[in-house]
């Protein structure tokens, strides 16, 4: 009976992560409209060196993606290859980015890496955006 219990527990330990157990949701609020942030998300996910199998819905501002990992430090990490998901939600004039990610810890920090890449893409998009035209000074009549 003890052997059976050990086998069941070990099986559950390996099986549960593949069914999404362990996924966490991380939320970050940005002081920009979601339409602007979505552009940065798409730029970040468009890098084939970091992400693969990207499926996105521009109308809902949702994307599912897999992270390219070069190495896994654990059997659980190798078995647990679930998709990550990013969702943008408008909150007034700001935008909340919600990232559901499986990996966070010693070997990988997918959520943190993704957020950093989105932040970098957003900064580049803001730099390339043309400045507001200067308003002509009022001249006295």
Measured distance CA(99)–CA(86) in Å, rounded: 4
Residue 103 lies in a domain: yes
Mean pLDDT of 27-32: 96
Tell me the whole-structure pTM to 2 decimals: 0.71
CB 15 within 8 Å of CB 6: no
What is the tally of structural domains in the chain? 1
18 has pLDDT over 50: no
Residue 16 lies in a domain: no
Please give the torsion angle defined by the CA atoms of residues 89, 120, 64 and 70, in that order, rounded to the nearest 10 degrees.
Answer: -150
Q: Please say if the pLDDT value at position 134 is more than 60.
A: no
* Mean pLDDT score across all residues of the chain: 80
Q: Is residue 8 part of a domain?
A: no
Start-to-end CA distance of the chain, whole Å, equals 98
Question: Is 28 a domain residue?
Answer: yes
């Amino acid at each position: 009976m003890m052997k059976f219990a050990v086998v069941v527990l070990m099986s559950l330990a390996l099986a549960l992560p593949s069914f999404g157990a362990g996924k966490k949701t991380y939320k970050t609020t940005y002081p920009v409209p979601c339409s602007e942030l979505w552009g940065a998300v798409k730029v970040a996910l468009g890098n084939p060196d970091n992400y693969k199998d990207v499926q996105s819905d521009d109308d809902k501002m949702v994307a599912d993606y897999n992270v390219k990992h070069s190495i896994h430090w654990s059997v659980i990490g190798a078995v647990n290859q679930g998709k990550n998901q990013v969702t943008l939600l408008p909150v007034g004039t700001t935008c909340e980015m919600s990232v559901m990610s499986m990996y966070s810890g010693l070997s990988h920090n997918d959520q943190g890496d993704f957020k950093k890449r989105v932040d970098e893409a957003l900064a580049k998009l803001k730099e390339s955006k043309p400045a507001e035209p200067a308003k002509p000074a009022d001249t006295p009549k």
